[in-house]
Structures are given as C-alpha cells and as structure tokens.
A and B are shown apart, each in its own frame.
Chain A
Amino acid sequence: MREEVKITPELIREHNLTDEEYERILQILGREPTLTELGIFSVMWSEHCSYKSSKVHLKKFPTKGPYVIQGPGENAGVIDIGHGLAAVFKMESHNHPSFIEPYQGAATGVGGILRDVFTMGARPIALLDSLRFGNPSEPRTRFLVDGVVAGIAGYGNCIGIPTVGGEVYFEDCYNGNILVNVFTVGIARKERIFKGVAEGVGNPVIYVGAKTGRDGIHGATMASEEFDEESEEKRPTVQVGDPFMEKLLLEACLELMKRDVIVGIQDMGAAGLTSSSFEMAGRAGNGIELDLDRVPLREEGMTPYEIMLSESQERMLLVAKKGREDEVIEVFKKWDLDAVVVGRVTDDGYVRVRQGGKVVAELPVAPLTTDAPVYDRPWKRPADQDELQKLDLSSVPVPEDLGEVWKRLLGSLEVCDRSWIYRQYDHMIRTNTVVLPGSDSAVLRVKGTPLGLAISVDCNPRYCYLDPRLGAQIAVAESARNVAVAGAKPLAITDCLNFGNPEKPEVMWQFKEAVEGMAHACSVLETPVVSGNVSFYNETMGKGIYPTPTVAMVGVISDYLNAVTQYFKGEGHFIYLAGPDPSGEDLGGSLYLKEIHGMVRGIPPSLDLAFEKKLHKFLVEGAKRFYFSSAHDVSEGGIAVALAECCFTDEGPVCGFRVSLPWKGREDALLFGETQGRVIITVTSEREDDFLKFSEEMGIPVRKIGITGGNELHIEGLASLSLQEGYEIWKRAFREKLGL
C-alpha cells in the first residue's frame, strides 16, 4: 500500500498538523501514513471537524429536556413539537469561504445546512441567516454584502426553501472576517428520524448525488486557519453549489425515506467522503470498506487523496438494507441522480479504502472520531478587559437635540429597514410564512396542525466583546424573548460560536466565558442546546473578531392564528412598557454610545434571567388570551427606537404615538438605554382591565406610557418627529449607507 510520496516535515505542516499530532499518528499506525492517510488525519483532526479546542467546554451545555429527541452529535438536533411531529434544526457557519468568494461561499453554506436537516428525514421549511460585515464605508464590504445576499438568495430560492428572517450587524472587527451563519428547520414525523449510522455488518454503502470533482479539497483545513496576505489564493478551496442538483437530491432522499430501506444516511459536507464514512462507522462502532473505482467522478485521473478529500457539493452517503440496493438505485434514477454501491459495512472498526484493487488507506475509526485529540487550551482574561468595561458617564454629554439623535439611530444600519436583503429572498414559498420578515421573529404554520413555529436568531457582538459571559446570556435571553413576543414558548436552541484563534489564551477566555454564559442562560430558561457549530480562527493578520456566539431559538405556538406581531394595529391602543423601569444610566455597549459618541465600552445592559423566564410565560399566555394587539422587544436603540419600529411596516407607516416616560435619570439613557427584559405592548380599551389583572397575577410590572395614533412620534418633553420623516429615514438608510 505504499504511495511514492515521502512524508516530510513540510508536508506535515502543509496539512496543518503539529509535530505532536504527527507523532500520535505514528503511534496509532505503528508505521508512516500514506499521503492519503495523512490527508484524512489532517481533515478529521482539523478544528472544523474534530472540535478539539471546544469540546471540553461544549460539554457544559444543557442538552436534555422532556421534548428533546436528539441532542448534539448527530447531523442536526430534533425536538418533539406535538401532533406526532418533530422539528429538526441546526445552524452552521460558512465564514471563511464567504469572505474569499461571497456568492458561492454563502450559497454552499445554505446547501450544506439543508442537507444536514433533510438527511435526518425532515423536509426543510425555512432558512434564517445571521450575517456580520465590516465597516460599510470599506469598498469590499459592499461587494461582500451584495455577493453573500445574492448567494443565499440564489441557492435558497432555487431549491424552494423560504428564507424568512435573520439579522445583520456591521462592525470594523469583521473587515477581514465576515460571518455567514445559516439556520434551517425542517419537519419530520417523530418516529421517522434518520441518523448517520453505519449499522448492520455486510450492508451496502451507497454513494448518491452529484459526481466528485477536485473542488473544495481542504476546505475544512482552510476554515481552521487564520487569514493572511495569501488567502485570496485559496479561492479554489471554495466549493461551487448547484441548487438544482440539491433539489433533486432532497426529493429523492425524502421519497426513498418513505420506504423501509435506509439504515443510516449522512451528508458529505466538510471533508466529504472521509468524514461521512468515518463518522457513520464511528457512531455504530463498525468499519467501512470503500472502493474508490466505483465513486462517480467528474474528471479522470483523480487520486485517492483527491477523492477522499473532495468537498464537491450535493452528495450523500447512505447505508441501505442488504438486498434492497435496487430500490435505492431506482428512486435516484427517477430523479436523474447517480446512486452507486461503493462499499460495505464491516465489523473490524477500520475504514479501508481501495483503488485499482490496492489498499490506499487503512485506518482505525476511533482515533479519527471519538478519540481524536482534545485540547484544554490555556485561557486568560485579556489585560484590557477592565479598561473596556470602564464607562464614566459624566464624560459623556447628553446631546441637546435628542430628536436628532433619534433620527440618527433610526437611520443606523442596525435599526433601519432591511427589505433590500429579504426582498431578494423568496420568503413566502411553501406558503407557511404567517409572519413575514420584519417583525421580532418569523412565524411559520405547520400544515395539517394548528401549530406555529417562531424562530429568531440573535447575538449582539458588542455586548459579547465587552463581557462575553453576559453578552452570551443576553443572546439567549433576547432570542427567547423575540420568540415569546410572537406568542411562542421558547423550546430549544442551536448555535454558531464564532471566535478568533483559540491558540490565544485571550480568545479561549472569551470562548469559555461565552459558553458558560450560554449554558447558564439555557439552564434557567429551560431551552437546551440541541445542535450547533464552532467556527474558530476568524482572524486576519492576527486581529480577531468580536466574540460572536449566535443563537437561534425555536419556539412553538399552540395555535398560529394567535401569533402577535410588533406593529401597531391602529389608533387608540394603549401603550404599555412591561418589565423593569429604566435605570437612567444603563448605556454600556449601547448602539447610542457607538453611533453618537463613537464608543464601544462599558458593561452590557443588566439582565435578570429569572425575571426573563416569568416574562416569557406572561407573553405566551397573554398572546393565547388575545390580550395584546402588538408586542415588541426593546433592544438596540432602547425604548425610543422600539416605539418607532412598532409604527413602521414594509408597506408603509401605520400611525404615530404619544407617550411620556415617567422616570428620572439621564434623558439619553431613558430613551436609548438597552436594559434587558422589556417589551412594548399595546392593548385595546376593551381588554385593558383583563390585561392589568393578568399582569398582576403573573407578577409582571407594566406601566402605561401612552397611546397610539396621529402623525407624530412624540415622547413628551424629550423628543418628537414626524411619522413620515422617521419612516423615510428608516426606509432609505440601508441602501444609502451601503451605496447599493
């Protein structure tokens, strides 16, 4: 089994393996690896596939709950939503490829996450995306925004899964490393969940979908390194997506899953044929034999190294019941797809790969999967963290014209209308989207049941930079609140943990803090983590991003007709603020400080998790009883911005309002402070008595602050502006600021 390539120290380094790791390979094998084997070790032990730096911390997440069917470790998480159905969901990052080639990077991110969900037997019903870009005045930012949005649209629209929501932030720290995190949820019958297991010795291993080409080789390794001057040259490691092919693959897989033929199935994502075969064998405690001569190839003369490491898209590996191969082939043939038996399940715990009758790789499964290296990397609180958290408000003058400040915040990229993005996404296909993009969370009906799913993705990276632990807690709490304001009970999360280089103790500290913060928030809110992904090495020339642990929350509404949106429903509704009173100085990490004073510092806004839990219950139960005509989470830009957002819809302004804020403290903090756990609620006069009684019963403080109506956004004694003017600033800002 010798290949004529000498394993040199240079070759080992090129494969991103350390000397210690290579030493470990020699020990495992008792001999030198072949080039193909070296490649396999390199991808399976890459940060991207092995989670070697994060594993010790990820164990801290709560992952169990009464409705959790499948927690982390499979292709996606699964929860029971009732009516015999399960929601299958996951979020994944495609940061590195999207920076190098935004259209294909983002498009294949969509393709990959969809496969993770439909491989489990679920039909995907929605996509959401969480995006981070650099400074909007950088020329490359515009190119990246345009390309990423077009890539998500190009793939999602063609395959016919609606992109129903998401979030986007712009910060200088993302200039060299954008973030593209894509979430998918699918629906399956709960007794028909498929897993990536190679069970049943002698069962055939079948390759289905697109042919294998030379694209994407070492994509997983690229995602496990920092960027430098030569990153542009890595363009060939980015895969090219074919959404039409994936549509065929999706339909063929779902059709085949209706028959009792499949034993296990997994998508060939990062590290392609290698990771799918090793992981499926690993989960079952079995081995797999592969014959590369049978793998459908796009071009001639591909080496075993290339075939095993290719990341060509739209491929799956499945293990079928012995003797049922023809049924598999027949279904795939209907959809004009390749389905070829490429191997079989063995019992010796090895993956053995042959080409031209010769063994080209023969590796034990466990050392590449469960027993891969794990590092408890050193961590250290950054020296400047204390300095960052200092905020002397006496040196921050309260602006004279607060109306002008209000306008600037409405026209900021974090607040303004994002329809330029979501209009490019088909957000209505499959006719389940009962709350269209623009409100706090997307709401989808589940056909054949009264159920609705509410989904929100959130992470304020400034909070996480200033205090990763609190910032991560807020990300969980806010995503839960966004789901709850729609009337849905928050059930479980998936996450994308985007960080810098884990070999730096300061980055590791951020990671550890964020994971522990999330774990704590998820425990208190009883929303376990059922799937997720870690993206390290988001650094360029040694400069890392803000820690960005993105959270996607899935909640269920027992009757989707009860879903509440953030928009005012007309004139004469009473406006209430539910939650804690403004402290009058909670400005740390706020949008206001960044936009108006050019400062990112202080301690993020206060959060009371026990209160949050009570608040969510209040929101869910109140929605069920039709007490609220609208409900909107108070987040970036504080009460003033939240109130204005209630007035603006995609189709035009609804009406204005008159409120007075009866609290003392700094005026800027009253208007724009971001204290957590607060919701703007409107109530009609007929329901007001019931609403007040209910609030008291639930122990939620509510304060009447005004009434909807008129053509003015009016906050007594503090700021006022015309509805039309506010709307136009909000509506136009995105395109103006990005020059689109």
Chain B
Amino acid sequence: MKAAVCVFPGSNCDHDCYHVLKHVMGLDTEFVWHRERDLSRFDIIVVPGGFTYGDYLRTGAMAKLSPIMEGITEEAKKGKPVIGICNGFQILIEGGLLPGALIANRSLKFICSYVYLRTETSNTPFTAGIEKGRVLKIPIAHYQGNYFAHPDLLKELNDNDQVVFRYCSPEGEVTDEANPNGSLENIAGVCNRERNVVGMMPHPERCAERELGSVDGRLLFESVVNYVAG
C-alpha cells in the first residue's frame, strides 16, 4: 500500500504527515513535489497543511494551479481516498474537489488549540472505523478555517451526509461555545458527493502518538488503511 504526501512550495505539515504514515502506520510513503502530474502509483493521497505560496493571494488559490492538481483530480475520480488537512482542505476547495469556502476565523486571530470533534458519518474511507457520534480530541492550527457555504449548499451537504466532523463540547454537544472559529453549523470537515475525498481543518497527524497527548487522529489513518486493504 503506497501513500503520497503532496509537497507544494510552503507546505509545512508534510513532514508530520509523512512521519505518521511511514513510521506510525508503517506505509510505503513518498513525498511528491508539486510539479509531478502522475499519482497513479499511490493508493492514498494526502494534501498536508501549511502556507502554500504564503497564503498571499488567498489560501490555496495559487496551489490549485500546480501540475500535481491534475494527478490528484485524476486519482480522486478513480475513487481513491484523498484527504486535505488544514491548508490541504483549503487547496481541495479551491481546486473544486470539495464544496464550500473557508474564511478568516471570527476572532480574526490564528488559533492553535486542541478541540473536540463529533464524527458525523462513518461513510468515508477516513471515518469508516469510527462510529458515528464518537467524539475525537484533535488540535486545530489555522487563521482561515471558518467554514462557509450558501444555504442551498448547506442543505445539500446535510441531505447527502457530507458533513464529516463538527466542533463540539467534550461531551459531544454541538454548541456555539465549542465552535472555535465561527464555522457554519460547527462544520470542521466535509467530503465530496462520491465520499472518497475528505477535507478537514483539524490535524489528525498531530495526535496519532500517545506522547503527544491524544491518539484520536490515528483512527482516521487506521480507517483508511483498512479501507484500502479491503
């Protein structure tokens, strides 16, 4: 089983994702530079966090023009599991692989903190092993993670079970107090219609080892490995 960690100029969670895939999950993992177009040799594709192109124009707006986006789109069409984390989520949205938009946090500050997420669906490769309703403790670290969508789109996402995670209290209640950034309906992660492409602002790769304070993030990687292994 082969995993790709896509590296754009300014990606900075690439090493963290690589570490978890390679050393924690034991997968055959490669960094793939953004100028490559062919990702067909991979079974799992990770678009990591960071500040691609400095986030200077708009998060993900430049990265979506990189050649590697062709490869990601191609493999996503084939149904392979693709996950965008933080800036990776922003890139997949800009690239049209995921719905919605991400705007500045309502506090207008960067926020780095552990938060709680309620798993809203087990019906994606990355949550197949996590029962619906389970609360995960996973950190966020972003300035523009405030999920926004038009009311029609929001309805569609809910109707199609495309909301993967919502920010919640430690007990699993979805409240405004538990919403760190102002996301609509506390949305922390979504998937595409076909369900194989997932984007999320929280960082599962930062909590996949006991010494880092939580191992909940590991559940996502275990899920996708089991999914691919069939």
Chain A residues near B (Cβ < 8 Å): 150, 153-154, 157-160, 242-245, 247-248, 334-336, 422-431, 433-434, 436, 445, 447, 560-561, 651
Residues of the A chain whose Cβ atoms lie less than 8 Å from the Cβ of B12: 158-160, 247, 429
The complex places the Cα of A422 from the Cα of B113 at a distance, in Å, of 9
Residues of the A chain whose Cβ atoms lie less than 8 Å from the Cβ of B141: 157, 426, 428-429
Interface presence of B16 (CB below 8 A): yes
The complex places the Cα of A243 from the Cα of B54 at a distance, in Å, of 7
Residue of B nearest to A432 (CB): B212
Q: Which residue from A157, A335, A434, A561 sits with its C-beta under 8 Å from B110?
A: A157
Determine if B213 and A424 form an interchain contact, defined as CB atoms under 8 angstroms apart: no
Residues of the A chain whose Cβ atoms lie less than 8 Å from the Cβ of B53: 244
With A160-B50, A445-B211, A561-B211 given, is the CB distance from A430 to B16 under 8 Å?
yes
Within 8 A of A (CB), among B108-126: 109-114
Residues of the B chain whose Cβ atoms lie less than 8 Å from the Cβ of A423: 109-113
Determine if A335 and B211 form an interchain contact, defined as CB atoms under 8 angstroms apart: no
Determine if B112 and A244 form an interchain contact, defined as CB atoms under 8 angstroms apart: no
Determine if A424 and B54 form an interchain contact, defined as CB atoms under 8 angstroms apart: no
Give 9 A-B contacts (CB < 8 Å), ordered by A residue: A242-B54, A247-B54, A422-B112, A423-B110, A423-B111, A424-B112, A429-B141, A431-B19, A445-B211
Shortest distance between the CB of B27 and any CB in chain A (Å): 17
Interface presence of B15 (CB below 8 A): yes
Determine if A436 and B9 form an interchain contact, defined as CB atoms under 8 angstroms apart: no
Instruction: List 4 tightest A-B contacts by C-beta distance, closest first.
Output: A160-B12, A244-B54, A158-B51, A426-B141
The complex places the Cα of A244 from the Cα of B53 at a distance, in Å, of 6
Determine if B112 and A434 form an interchain contact, defined as CB atoms under 8 angstroms apart: no
Q: Which residue from A154, A424, A434, A447 sits with its C-beta under 8 Å from B19?
A: A447
Interface presence of B10 (CB below 8 A): yes
The complex places the Cα of A429 from the Cα of B213 at a distance, in Å, of 14
With A157-B141, A244-B56, A424-B112 given, is the CB distance from A434 to B51 under 8 Å?
no
Residues of the B chain whose Cβ atoms lie less than 8 Å from the Cβ of A247: 9-10, 12, 51, 54
The complex places the Cα of A433 from the Cα of B10 at a distance, in Å, of 21
Report the contact-size class of chain B (Cβ under 8 Å from the partner).
20 to 34
Residue of A nearest to B16 (CB): A431
The complex places the Cα of A431 from the Cα of B33 at a distance, in Å, of 22
The complex places the Cα of A431 from the Cα of B207 at a distance, in Å, of 8
Interface presence of B88 (CB below 8 A): no
Main secondary structure of the interface of B (DSSP, over half): mixed
Interface presence of B189 (CB below 8 A): no
Determine if B51 and A428 form an interchain contact, defined as CB atoms under 8 angstroms apart: no
The complex places the Cα of A160 from the Cα of B141 at a distance, in Å, of 11
Shortest distance between the CB of B56 and any CB in chain A (Å): 7
Shortest distance between the CB of A486 and any CB in chain B (Å): 14
Determine if A434 and B10 form an interchain contact, defined as CB atoms under 8 angstroms apart: no
Shortest distance between the CB of B14 and any CB in chain A (Å): 9
Residue of A nearest to B23 (CB): A447
Determine if B51 and A336 form an interchain contact, defined as CB atoms under 8 angstroms apart: no
Interface presence of B206 (CB below 8 A): yes
Residues of the B chain whose Cβ atoms lie less than 8 Å from the Cβ of A429: 12-13, 16, 141, 206
Interface presence of B199 (CB below 8 A): no
Determine if B112 and A158 form an interchain contact, defined as CB atoms under 8 angstroms apart: no
Residue of B nearest to A158 (CB): B51
Residues of the B chain whose Cβ atoms lie less than 8 Å from the Cβ of A427: 112
Determine if A336 and B112 form an interchain contact, defined as CB atoms under 8 angstroms apart: no
The complex places the Cα of A507 from the Cα of B209 at a distance, in Å, of 50
Residue of B nearest to A123 (CB): B15
The complex places the Cα of A427 from the Cα of B33 at a distance, in Å, of 26
- Additional 4 contacts, C-beta under 8 A, given A150-B109, A427-B112, A429-B13: A423-B111, A428-B139, A431-B209, A560-B211
Residues of the B chain whose Cβ atoms lie less than 8 Å from the Cβ of A426: 110, 112, 141
Residue of B nearest to A419 (CB): B113
Shortest distance between the CB of B221 and any CB in chain A (Å): 13
Determine if A157 and B51 form an interchain contact, defined as CB atoms under 8 angstroms apart: yes
With A424-B112, A425-B112 given, is the CB distance from A436 to B213 under 8 Å?
yes
Residues of the B chain whose Cβ atoms lie less than 8 Å from the Cβ of A159: 12, 51
For B30-65 the 0/1 string (1 means CB < 8 A from A) is 000100000000000000001101111000000000
The complex places the Cα of A121 from the Cα of B77 at a distance, in Å, of 42
Interface presence of B205 (CB below 8 A): yes
Shortest distance between the CB of B135 and any CB in chain A (Å): 15
Residues of the B chain whose Cβ atoms lie less than 8 Å from the Cβ of A336: 9
Determine if A160 and B114 form an interchain contact, defined as CB atoms under 8 angstroms apart: no
Determine if A158 and B55 form an interchain contact, defined as CB atoms under 8 angstroms apart: yes
Determine if B56 and A428 form an interchain contact, defined as CB atoms under 8 angstroms apart: no
Residues of the B chain whose Cβ atoms lie less than 8 Å from the Cβ of A245: 54
Shortest distance between the CB of A391 and any CB in chain B (Å): 42
Q: Which of B19, B141, B203, B213 has the most CB of A within 10 A?
A: B141
The complex places the Cα of A85 from the Cα of B28 at a distance, in Å, of 26
With A153-B110, A159-B12, A244-B54 given, is the CB distance from A428 to B206 under 8 Å?
yes
Residues of the B chain whose Cβ atoms lie less than 8 Å from the Cβ of A425: 110, 112
The complex places the Cα of A289 from the Cα of B195 at a distance, in Å, of 61
The complex places the Cα of A236 from the Cα of B50 at a distance, in Å, of 30
Q: Which of A422, A426, A430 has the most CB of B within 10 A?
A: A426
Shortest distance between the CB of A243 and any CB in chain B (Å): 7
For B194-210 the 0/1 string (1 means CB < 8 A from A) is 00000000010110010
The complex places the Cα of A492 from the Cα of B19 at a distance, in Å, of 30
Shortest distance between the CB of B15 and any CB in chain A (Å): 7
Shortest distance between the CB of B147 and any CB in chain A (Å): 20
Residues of the A chain whose Cβ atoms lie less than 8 Å from the Cβ of B203: 428
With A158-B51, A426-B141 given, is the CB distance from A431 to B109 under 8 Å?
no
The complex places the Cα of A405 from the Cα of B51 at a distance, in Å, of 46
Residue of B nearest to A561 (CB): B211
